[in-house]
Amino acid sequence: AQKVTQAQTEISVVEKEDVTLDCVYETRDTTYYLFWYKQPPSGELVFLIRRNSFDEQNEISGRYSWNFQKSTSSFNFTITASQVVDSAVYFCALSDSGTYKYIFGTGTRLKVLA
């Protein structure tokens, strides 16, 4: 069965601190896709990254970086030098090939304090 676990319900950091959001997934498929989305207070889910199961290279985009490790079934997300605008709920999601269904984690609420 597919499952996504975001064990951190809420994290608070002070501006400029680095923060890592954890995501652990379960799937029996060998081909799958992982995603991160940001949901600010306005409600819209904003797409951040898509990674397929065959690409384990870490990715960096500005202050954002992602660490994909198949050995531990984890796809963690790090924000470097956090800013107040990073305050949001962050969701990790899993999709197997052959389906359009996403399995979402329960989300991690990040609060960045000025």
Partner 1 sequence: ETGVTQTPRHLVMGMTNKKSLKCEQHLGHNAMYWYKQSAKKPLELMFVYNFKEQTENNSVPSRFSPECPNSSHLFLHLHTLQPEDSALYLCASSQGSMGGQGGDTQYFGPGTRLTVL
Binding status of residue 96 toward partner 1 by CB under 8 A = yes
CA distances from 111 to 10, 18, 19 (A): 8, 12, 10
Binding status of residue 43 toward partner 1 by CB under 8 A = yes
Cα 49 to Cα 42: distance, rounded to the nearest angstrom: 20
- The SS3 assignment for 32 reads strand
- In this chain, which of 13, 45, 74, 80 binds partner 1, going by CB under 8 A? 45
Comparing CB distances to partner 1, the nearer of 11 and 45 is 45
Q: Which residues bind partner 1 (CB under 8 A)?
A: 31-33, 35, 37, 42-47, 50, 52, 91, 95-102, 104-107
